[in-house]
Chains A and B, each alone.
Chain A
Amino acid sequence: MIRDALGFLLILVFLVPVAADVPLPPWSWNTYTGNNTWQVTTVETGCGDGAVTDQYTVTIRFHGATATMGDVGHGPADGTFLSGNVLHIPARTVADPPGTSTLSAYDVFFTTDCSAFAAKYDWDYAGPDGACSGTTTLNGQNSNGCPASQAVPVVPSVAPASGSAVSSDLATARSDLIDDLTQREMRDITNSLFNAHMISENSAKNLNAKSDAAIAAAETKLDGQYQAILEADPKNFYANMDMAELRKSQGRLDDYIRYVNVALSNPDVAAETADAIRKDIMAKNNLATWPTPENSIVIATLGPDARTAAQNVYGMDMRKDATGNSVIDNLRYIFTWGGPKDLVTTVALPGGGQ
């Protein structure tokens, strides 16, 4: 399955010219909420009928970290984004009268220019008329490009020197950061393809050289962009969290933690952020009751477990910076495991904006 998925990714990498010389647009489907229409071609092989090709007009409903793939012949399917543009659909069994079909789990790989996706899964049919197995490939096309550009985040600033300028600069920097992280993701994918013996060493080197050049150029620029923002507003929550994400992606974990700590250094901002996360979780999951250690075994277990696990995260002892303020310390653990990128872009923004 992994080889199949990587094979399709390989096709995307080589056939869709988004990773070559043109800077990637700053798009990640896992930060988008809305419906998007795709022309999907399915090719089904197996069960003795040769290849069967169908075409569908399908709506994919994006809900941030999750999405629902429309019906491509076997009903809609809910999935979860593994990363910005990789949607994981779990295995499931569907009614397929007069029998049932078991579909394997699969990943949907979206190109970062929003023009295409590809996926492939296996299935096993069993019913009173017999049993057989096969494979279905999905190729989606979207001629409308990406939906409207990602919205400008509303920046809660502790003491902004120039609020609107900082907000505008941060939106630009955030866009460039997401672009940079996408390049890093592409490099990881290339390495996965190479490790799975799907591409040659030369191909991997060529692709990585392009990614490395783009990353080097982007990150020099990003450092300047964020330094300018932080000079105007040193404790800006989002700028510090973005820098934390950048440093984390660079493997500079001490700096990563340092930026997280600065972001959380204002108890008021931390409290507001924690409250926003709590409300967001309650709303997204239809929780009628606020979970506490008293009414939830998960929460009762999670607190002590997280504090023990924090002794070694990326080889570092996260507890050494503990403040004793449970809100701030818990947020540090949340951002450490959840990652500033995911949480800042999907949870912690005031008003739920992006």
Chain B
Amino acid sequence: MTRPGRTGRAVVSAAALAGIVLLLICAGCTSQNPAPAPATTDTAAFIAAANDCRVMNMTVTGAVGTFTYTSAPGCVFIKTLDRLNASEMAGMKTMLEGKNMTCSYTKGNFDPRLVTSLVGGMEYCNGELKDKLAELIVFT
């Protein structure tokens, strides 16, 4: 990463001041650092938001582990397995933790199983989490 040099920092400072002025003048202009997505712990609220293609985050911890669900603009859903249950074997943690799948759908047709089950609805998704979960069925 190229960090600002001394000259650059002076420019940054000037730019920052100019930016503040611009922000005061133009409140509501597009920010380079958009506000974080709203979050919920209510599964029904998240499903409703996803079904409506609204931005929303939800993190849920269950028996398997902790999942983060993201409803992104454009009817895109991302399911991330953050952490497995502490008792899970190390190899499984390495295989699955931090992996995600991205799913596309049309407005009004979000499959709620994507947040209520491990694999339900993932036929319309892509990503390493989907691939790994599918493969692991061979052990069941």
- Spell out A's residues near B (CB within 8 Å): 2, 44, 47-49, 52, 65-66, 73-74, 80, 82-83, 88, 90, 94, 96, 99, 101, 123-125, 127, 129-130, 132-134, 136, 195-196, 274, 277-278, 281, 285-293, 295-299, 301-303, 305-306, 308-309, 312-314, 330-331, 333-334, 336-338, 342-343, 347
- Contact residues of B between 74 and 129, Cβ < 8 Å to A: 74, 76, 84-85, 87-89, 91-92, 94-96, 98-100, 102, 113, 117-123, 126-128
B1 and A74 contact, CB distance less than 8 A = yes
Residues of B within 8 A of A309 (CB): 113, 117-121
3 closest A-B pairs by beta carbon, nearest first, are A303-B140, A338-B134, A48-B11
User: A48-B10, A48-B11, A337-B130 are known contacts; what are 6 more A-B pairs with Cβ within 8 Å?
Assistant: A48-B8, A48-B12, A65-B131, A96-B1, A99-B3, A305-B120
A-B residue pairs in contact (CB < 8 Å), sample of 25: A47-B3, A49-B11, A65-B128, A88-B127, A90-B98, A94-B1, A124-B33, A125-B1, A130-B4, A132-B12, A133-B33, A277-B135, A281-B135, A285-B91, A291-B89, A291-B91, A297-B85, A298-B92, A299-B136, A299-B140, A301-B63, A302-B136, A308-B120, A333-B134, A337-B130
Chain B, residue nearest A326 (CB): B140
- Contact residues of B between 1 and 52, Cβ < 8 Å to A: 1-5, 7-13, 15, 32-33
Interface-centre pick from B4, B96, B123, B127 (highest chain A CB count, 10 A):
B123
- Spell out B's residues near A (CB within 8 Å): 1-5, 7-13, 15, 32-33, 63-65, 72-74, 76, 84-85, 87-89, 91-92, 94-96, 98-100, 102, 113, 117-123, 126-128, 130-131, 133-140
A334 and B92 contact, CB distance less than 8 A = no
Once the chains are docked, how many angstroms separate the CA of A286 from the CA of B94?
9
Chain B, residue nearest A86 (CB): B126
Once the chains are docked, how many angstroms separate the CA of A53 from the CA of B98?
32
B133 and A296 contact, CB distance less than 8 A = no
Chain A, residue nearest B94 (CB): A285
Once the chains are docked, how many angstroms separate the CA of A96 from the CA of B4?
12
Chain B, residue nearest A299 (CB): B139
Residues of B within 8 A of A336 (CB): 123
CB of B29, distance to nearest CB on chain A (Å): 15
CB of B86, distance to nearest CB on chain A (Å): 10
Once the chains are docked, how many angstroms separate the CA of A157 from the CA of B138?
22
CB of B67, distance to nearest CB on chain A (Å): 12
Chain A, residue nearest B111 (CB): A312
B119 and A306 contact, CB distance less than 8 A = yes
**Known A291-B89, A298-B92; contact A44-B2, beta-carbon cutoff 8 A:** yes
Once the chains are docked, how many angstroms separate the CA of A278 from the CA of B138?
7
Once the chains are docked, how many angstroms separate the CA of A314 from the CA of B73?
23
A132 and B139 contact, CB distance less than 8 A = no
Residues of B within 8 A of A132 (CB): 3-4, 12
